[in-house]
Amino acid sequence: MFRNKSGEFSWVDFTIDVLRVLIVLAVVVGAWNTLSSGRISLAQWVNLLAAGLSQGSIYALIALGYTLVYGILLMINFAHGEVFMAGAFTTFFFAEALNRTGFLNEQPLLAILLMILFAGLVSMTVAVLVERIAYRPLRGSPRLVPLITAIGASFFLQYAFRGLYGSSFKAYPQVRALQGAVQIGDISIPVAQIFVFCSALVLMIGLHWLVERTRIGKAMRAVSENKEVARLMGIDIDWVILFTFGVGGFLAGSAGVINGLFRPQGVNFYMGFIPGIKAFTAAVLGGIGNIPGAMLGGLFLGVIEAIGPNLVLAGLGIPGANQLKDVIAFTMLVLVLIFRPQGILGERLSETKA
Partner 1 sequence: MKKVLLLFTALSLLLVFSLPAMADSHCMDELGCVEVGPDEPIVIASILAMSGPASFYGTDSLGGIELAILGRDGMLLGRDIELVEEDSHCAAEGGQAAAQRVAADESIAGVIGTTCSGAAQGAMPIISEAGMLMISSSNTSPSLTNANADEGGTYYPGYFRTAHNDLFQGAMGAQFAMEVLMTDAVATIHDGDPYTEGLAVVMADTFASMDGDVVFQGAVSKGDTDMSAILTEIAASGPAIMYLPVFVPESEFLISQAANTPGMEGVKMMTADGSFSVTFAQNTGDAAVGVYMTGPHVAGDAYDAFLEMWAEEQPGGTEAPPSGFHAHAYDGTNLLLDAIEAVAVEMDDGTLMIGRQALRDAMAAVEDYSGLTGMLTCQEESPYSGDCATGTALAVFQITEAQVNDGEWPPPIVWDLSMASSMGEG
226 binds partner 1 (CB under 8 A): no
Closer of 9 and 159 to partner 1 (Cβ):
159
Residues 145-184 binding partner 1 (CB under 8 A) are 159, 162, 166-171, 174, 181
Residue 181's DSSP bridge partners are 190
Whole-number Cα distances in Å, 98 to 72, 106, 273, 348: 38, 10, 27, 48
Which residues are CB-neighbours of 111 under 8 A, at least 6 positions away?
A: 98, 103, 104, 175
**Contact present, 128 and 246 (Cβ < 8 Å):** yes
268 binds partner 1 (CB under 8 A): yes
How far apart (Å, rounded) are the C-alpha atoms in residues 304 and 316? 16
Given candidates 30, 48, 72, 249, which one binds partner 1 under the rule CB under 8 A? 48
Given candidates 14, 94, 156, 270, which one binds partner 1 under the rule CB under 8 A? 270
Given candidates 33, 105, 188, 331, which one binds partner 1 under the rule CB under 8 A? 188
101 binds partner 1 (CB under 8 A): no
64 binds partner 1 (CB under 8 A): no
Closer of 118 and 269 to partner 1 (Cβ):
269
Piece in contact with partner 1 (CB under 8 A), picked from 64-72, 73-81, 241-249, 269-277: 269-277
Given candidates 108, 206, 217, 266, which one binds partner 1 under the rule CB under 8 A? 266
Given candidates 136, 222, 263, 335, which one binds partner 1 under the rule CB under 8 A? 263
Given candidates 198, 201, 322, 339, which one binds partner 1 under the rule CB under 8 A? 322
| CB-based burial, 223-258: b 16+ in 10 Å, e otherwise | bbeebeebeeeebebeebbbbbbbbbbbbbbbbbbb
How far from the centroid of its chain's Cα atoms is residue 108's Cα?
26
Closer of 194 and 349 to partner 1 (Cβ):
194
How far apart (Å, rounded) are the C-alpha atoms in residues 167 and 267? 10
- Amino acid identity for residue 125 in this structure: T
How far apart (Å, rounded) are the C-alpha atoms in residues 299 and 281? 12
Reported as type and span, the H/E element at residue 347 is none
Binding site residues, partner 1, CB under 8 A: 39-40, 43-44, 47-48, 51-52, 55, 159, 162, 166-171, 174, 181, 188, 190, 259, 263-266, 268, 270, 273-275, 302, 305-307, 309-310, 314, 319-323, 325-326
